[in-house]
Amino acid sequence: MNDYPKEFPSPGVNILEIGPRQLPSTEFFDQYPNANIVFVANESFAPYHQNLPPGATTVEADVVDYLESNDPSIPPEGFDFILVVGVFSQPLALSQPKHIHRFIQGVANHLKSTGALIIEDHYLGTEVKRLKNFLADKLHGAGFTVTESQEFLKPRLAHANSFHLRATRR
């Protein structure tokens, strides 16, 4: 992935990935060897441990509850990258506006000022545009600059109903 400069030294990079237990963003992680990587999902990671990078921390928890917690896996200095993949399209995941507001607040609390939030998701039919625009508007209102890209985190493949947003603090 060429649109994510290696602006952070690898040993000091903190990455949080929320979502895909079976398809972690391995190509993205390869850019940051020795990074501290944390995975959060509300389901068991047991069947997928072989897919995760060595040394990664896994947390089975509700995403919003995790972001609002003092979990020891959250670095005090914050995360350089927060990757959110396939979370918003899941039934009941973060479908209610109050959950999305709490999620964005949690991200804002744990993302370094120089960090980036990357959201990839998909939705059926025309709903993908509505979801993408809704998330972009909420992030913009919370003080983020949001850009859309056609560069997707690997190994997942983009399709017509996919979107990729990158948000940084203004």
**2 in any annotated domain:** no
- What pLDDT does residue 85 have? 82
3 lies in some domain: no
Region 79-99 average pLDDT: 74
52 in any annotated domain: yes
- 5 within a domain of the structure (yes/no): no
Closest CA to 135 of 149, 143, 125, 146: 146
Mean pLDDT of 124-144: 82
Q: Provide the 8-state DSSP code for 53.
A: P
Contact 4, 28 (CB under 8 A): yes
Residue 77: CATH number of its domain: 3.40.50.150
Supply the DSSP symbol for 13: -
Type of residue found at 77: E
Q: Which range, 7-21, 86-100, 114-128, has the best average confidence (pLDDT)?
A: 114-128
Does residue 4 sit within a domain? no
| Residues 55/37, Cβ–Cβ less than 8 Å | yes
Buried b (16+ CB within 10 A) or exposed e, 60-81: eeebbebbeeeeebbeeebbbb
* Residue 40 is assigned to a structural domain of this protein: yes
Element (H or E) spanning 138, and its range?
Answer: helix 127-141
* Overall domain count for the chain: 1
pLDDT of residue 141: 92
- pLDDT of 20-58, one tens digit each? 666 677 778 888 888 899 999 888 888 877 778 888 899
Query: Residue 29's domain spans which residues?
Result: 10-169
The average pLDDT across 125-131 equals 71
Mean pLDDT over each residue of the chain, to the nearest integer: 79
